[in-house]
Amino acid sequence: MNQIDLMKELHTFSDKKIIMLVMDGLGGLPNDEDKTELEAAYTPNMDKLARDSVLGLSTPISPGITPGSGPGHLGLFGYEPLEYQIGRGVLEALGIGLDLSPNSLAARGNFCSLDPVSGVITDRRAGRIPTEECSRLVEMLSTIQMDEVSITIRPVKDYRFALILEGDGLADDLSETDPQKTGLKPLKVEALSSNATKSARILNQWLEQAFAILADQRPANGCTLRGIAKDPGLPSFAEVYGLQACAIATYPMYKGISRLVGMEVLDAGDSIASELHTLQANWGKYDFFFFHVKKTDSAGEDGNFAEKVKVIEETDRIIPGIVDLQPDVLIITGDHSTPSSLKAHSWHELPILLYADNIRPDTLRVFGERSCMQGGLGHMRHIDIMPLAMAHADKLAKYGA
């Protein structure tokens, strides 16, 4: 029996409420002053909470494996990321409210900047163009038509867009076109199995037309495709845990993964403060709240240590508003590490804080990576967080006689 089946068998009802607060890319590495971003941040409210909590470190997938955002969140929700693989395209499409059928193939698109002579990528995110510019470019690309498939393309946020092909015989065993570094040309889509040959050919034909249309645009004169995938059909959160769950997030991708597992996605505005207001306004309607903070990750990817510290401190300031709701279980962690020094996701463990009335508190008084190394939760995996949350909320029956 795997863990998902175990949760289906053991979940039971209680009226207790769980909040999972996820600071995207929370984990960091020490700077020249020997402090990570979390350790450098002024977090009196998280530290106060830590004194009545149990702390530890959590691995998103397995030691040494650097996770994408999809696998990181799947693990947090208790789905084994090595078993359930989800392409980023599916999450982007669902995140902006698009529906997918069994014949749909979805990709996340990134507008990028290309050197007009050599064709190499000079900026993988086209200077993080505003969403308004993304919408204008998407409108230009929406003129592309192909005989074998119908095409839907929609802006997502900033430099990102969602591309959906609809047609018979499409498969998703495909490579991505983003080489993941500047100074290299965008790659072609490669079929990784014979079933995906048709899909690769169609996507490369679409890309050829897209590059021709974008050639004279600046700074976004190219694009890449990532996470080309079909909907894997996950068991729903309600089925697995018996929870009435909602998602409070500002970025489409995280709304998408929430929709994928059957959470209700709430309109949360575009700031941490508006997310808190959404939580407070909907407190009586749900028993599980996924509360997502994005900009810790964005700052880490930009290599901006000070900005990541600022976002952590902004999050800390809303903690009293969360605690005032008297959640029965409160978890604070991240989906993956994004150290500013690396400007990328990394394999490092995530600090985790678990607060509940029925815990065994450890002796720690500070929420930070090195403090959490000594915590009572020890070293765990993301997929073990939900069973702990369920148990502390009295939502799991006894296993066996």
Same-domain status, 142 and 127: yes
CA atoms of 26 and 309, how far apart (whole Å): 10
Same-domain status, 311 and 360: yes
Same-domain status, 70 and 170: no
Same-domain status, 240 and 225: no
Write the DSSP symbol of residue 185: P
Same-domain status, 203 and 281: no
Same-domain status, 175 and 261: no
Residue 321 has pLDDT above 90, yes or no: yes
Please tell me the predicted confidence (pLDDT) of residue 232.
Answer: 86
Please tell me the predicted confidence (pLDDT) of residue 87.
Answer: 84
- The verdict on residue 399 lying in a domain is no
Residue 86 has pLDDT above 90, yes or no: no
Q: What SS3 state is found at 243?
A: coil
Q: CA-based Rg of the chain, rounded to a whole angstrom?
A: 21
Which of 178, 211, 229 is where one domain is finished?
A: 229
Please tell me the predicted confidence (pLDDT) of residue 233.
Answer: 84
Query: Which CATH number goes with the domain that contains 23?
Result: 3.40.720.10
Please tell me the predicted confidence (pLDDT) of residue 401.
Answer: 84
Same-domain status, 12 and 111: no
Residue 85 has pLDDT above 90, yes or no: no
Q: What SS3 state is found at 152?
A: strand
Residue 394 has pLDDT above 90, yes or no: yes
- The verdict on residue 197 lying in a domain is yes
- The verdict on residue 270 lying in a domain is yes
**111-115 mean pLDDT:** 97
Q: Which domain holds residue 105?
A: 91-229
Residue with tokens 């430099």: 159
pTM as predicted: 0.85
Where helices occur in 250-329 by DSSP H, the ranges are 252-260, 272-281, 295-301, 305-323
Same-domain status, 315 and 386: yes
Indicate the pLDDT class of residue 101, thresholds 50, 70 and 90.
very high
Which of 210, 229, 248 is where one domain is finished?
A: 229
- The verdict on residue 249 lying in a domain is yes
- The verdict on residue 51 lying in a domain is yes
Give residue-wise pLDDT tens across range 332-355: 999 999 999 999 999 999 999 999
C-alpha distances in angstroms, 208 versus 11, 98, 220? 51, 25, 15
Residue with tokens 């004194």: 51
Please tell me the predicted confidence (pLDDT) of residue 129.
Answer: 96
- The verdict on residue 397 lying in a domain is no
Please tell me the predicted confidence (pLDDT) of residue 298.
Answer: 94
Same-domain status, 102 and 71: no
Closest by CA to 94, choosing from 249, 275, 299, 209, is 249
Which of 190, 208, 229 is where one domain is finished?
A: 229
Q: What SS3 state is found at 127?
A: coil
Please tell me the predicted confidence (pLDDT) of residue 150.
Answer: 96
Residue 45 has pLDDT above 90, yes or no: yes
**369-395 mean pLDDT:** 98
What percentage of the chain has pLDDT greater than the value 90?
Answer: 95
Same-domain status, 103 and 248: no
- The verdict on residue 371 lying in a domain is yes
- The verdict on residue 317 lying in a domain is yes
Same-domain status, 102 and 214: yes
Indicate the pLDDT class of residue 1, thresholds 50, 70 and 90.
confident
Indicate the pLDDT class of residue 184, thresholds 50, 70 and 90.
very high
Indicate the pLDDT class of residue 88, thresholds 50, 70 and 90.
confident
> 263 vs 157, which has greater pLDDT?
263
Please tell me the predicted confidence (pLDDT) of residue 277.
Answer: 98
Task: Report the domain count for the chain.
Answer: 2
Bridge partner list, 56: 352, 378
Closest by CA to 380, choosing from 350, 358, 339, is 350
**Mean residue pLDDT across the chain:** 96
Give residue-wise pLDDT tens across range 189-243: 999 999 999 999 999 999 999 999 999 999 999 999 999 999 888 999 999 999 9
Indicate the pLDDT class of residue 3, thresholds 50, 70 and 90.
very high
Same-domain status, 385 and 354: yes
Angle, alpha carbons 136-142-143 (nearest 5°): 115
